[in-house]
Amino acid sequence: MTLERWKTFSKRDQLLFIGSEFERAKVAEREGDNAHREAALARAITLIDLTKNDEQWAAQGAMLDGLRVVVEEFRSKAEKPGVELLYQVL
């Protein structure tokens, strides 16, 4: 996904795309597929980074930085909590 394409989506849709990656991670987690879980979380981080670079989010930069930090911390924990927790952050 390019930044130019990403900018064509509304803020609502951008959040839904990020949430969809959380959902993919949750399904993979439930199926015990750690590789797909990690790939979905990596895609979520990529989408968060694109969102941070979209001018329509300029006023919410700190919130997006915080979301990215939480996802990164979530990925790095030795004992991984359920992906459902990421929805609470979003």
In whole angstroms, give the CA distance from residue 52 to residue 83.
22
Give the length of the chain.
90
Q: Which residue has the higher pLDDT, 86 or 5?
A: 5
In whole angstroms, give the CA distance from residue 57 to residue 11.
8
Q: Model confidence over 9-48: pLDDT tens digits?
A: 999 999 999 999 999 988 998 899 989 999 999 999 999 9
Residue 76 tokens, joined: 């790095």
In whole angstroms, give the CA distance from residue 20 to residue 24.
6
Q: Give 82's DSSP letter.
A: P
Q: Model confidence over 70-86: pLDDT tens digits?
A: 898 878 865 566 666 67
Please give the pLDDT value at position 64: 94
pLDDT at 90 over 80: no
